[in-house]
Amino acid sequence: MRERRKARTRADLTTQARMLTVQRGLHGFTVEELCERVGVSRRTFFNYFPTKEDAVVGHADDGLDDDVLAAFRAARPKGCTGISPTLLGDLVRMVVEQSGRTGFSQAEACAFATAIHREPQLLARIVHTGPERERAFAELIADREGVEADHPVVTAAVVVFAGLLHRAAARYFQADNTRPHAEILTELLAGAQELFRQDLSP
């Protein structure tokens, strides 16, 4: 229970840091203002993040809500050994479900993306955390499936999903886009599923 509360506080700090970045820019608010929004002390903030920039980028473990993770783990068929036949579908449902829980409207999400690109230090930190987040995603899948994190199916899932998430975000943030992120992502995932049905024999 204590660990869950800590994770919730850390995620709340990131959510509010991002909202403030959208509203005022990275340099338009202080750590004290952020702490006041979340209801924690300055000392507590620094127990979670070394800098304000790190709070905006977020922690690698805060990518998925606990209930979304629990549903993904519970969806594995009982008595199954090795890679489950529902892994791809369960991954799709998990990612689509999470995509609707960002807490940002489309306008706010676009504003945040713009803010990121205006702040070189934020962009650099996000790029740096990419491999760490991919490792966490691989460990999640491997743990559910009972295999090693370098299993070929796990590796393929991480590479494919990371690429499609990046592409979905790029389309979502286009100035003329009117479609929800989940709809764009689902369409791309369906395309990947169709591709993987093809025969790989020479």
Rounded to whole angstroms, the Cα distance separating 9 from 40 reads 8
pLDDT band with cut points at 50, 70 and 90 for residue 100: low
pLDDT at position 141, please?
95
Instruction: Report whether 90 contacts 76 (CB < 8 A).
Output: yes
In this structure, the answer to whether residues 138 and 175 fall within a common structural domain is: yes
CATH number of the CATH domain containing 183: 1.10.357.10
Rounded to whole angstroms, the Cα distance separating 92 from 76 reads 13
Mean pLDDT of the 64-90 span: 89
In this structure, the answer to whether residues 170 and 74 fall within a common structural domain is: yes
User: What total of structural domains would you count in the chain?
Assistant: 2
pLDDT tens per residue, range 128-176: 777 888 898 999 999 999 999 999 999 999 999 889 888 988 888 777 8
In this structure, the answer to whether residues 94 and 51 fall within a common structural domain is: no
Q: Considering 56, 82, 101, which residue would you say is the last residue of a domain?
A: 56
16 Cβ partners below 8 Å, 6+ apart? Answer: 34, 37, 38
In this structure, the answer to whether residues 24 and 74 fall within a common structural domain is: no
Domain membership of residue 192 as a residue range: 63-202
In this structure, the answer to whether residues 52 and 69 fall within a common structural domain is: no
What is the average pLDDT value for the chain, to the nearest integer? Answer: 85
In this structure, the answer to whether residues 95 and 6 fall within a common structural domain is: no
In this structure, the answer to whether residues 102 and 200 fall within a common structural domain is: yes
pLDDT at position 108, please?
63
pTM above 0.75, yes or no: no
